[in-house]
Amino acid sequence: MLTIGIGIVGLGLVAVGLAMGHATAKALEGIARQPEAADKINRVLILGLAIMESVAIYSLIIAILIIFILR
């Protein structure tokens, strides 16, 4: 049962991967269209990626807590 729960938590990573890929693709489009704005786009992109990554980190923490505390 716990194993299934951990697997479900892992599904959150799918959304995060899709979102990060989407954001990077859009940023690349923006840079290709306007190369002089690359610095600003980079900064915002890294910030957004960090915030998206925190969702992945939350599922990691939930999985770890399930494994080590609920078992």
Partner 1 sequence: MSTHASEATQPVRKKSKTGLIIVLVLAVIALNVVAGKYLGLNHGIEINIFPRPVEGFGGGVLTETNISMFVASALIVVSALIIRIFFIPKFKAVPGKVQNVLELIVGTLENYASSISGVKDAIVPAYGLTVGAVIVFSGFAELLGFRAPTTDFLMNAALALIALIVINIVGIRKFGFPGRVKSFFKPVPMVGPILIVTHLLIPVSLTFRLFGNILGGMIVLELLYAVTPLVVPGILNSFFVLFHAGMQTFVFITLMFTYVNEAAEEPHD
- Taken in order 39, 40, 43, 45, the sign of the CA dihedral is negative
Q: Which is nearer to partner 1, 14 or 69 (CB)?
A: 69
**Is position 26 an interface residue for partner 1 (rule: CB under 8 A)?**
no
Question: Is residue 17 within 8 Å of residue 11, measured between CB atoms?
Answer: no
- State the DSSP string of 37-66: GHHHHHHHHHHHHHHHHHHHHHHHHHHHHH
Choices 2-10, 11-19, 22-30, 41-49; region in contact with partner 1 by CB under 8 A: 41-49
**Is position 37 an interface residue for partner 1 (rule: CB under 8 A)?**
no
Interacting residues with partner 1 (CB under 8 A): 43, 46-47, 50-51, 53-54, 57-58, 60-61, 64-65, 68-69
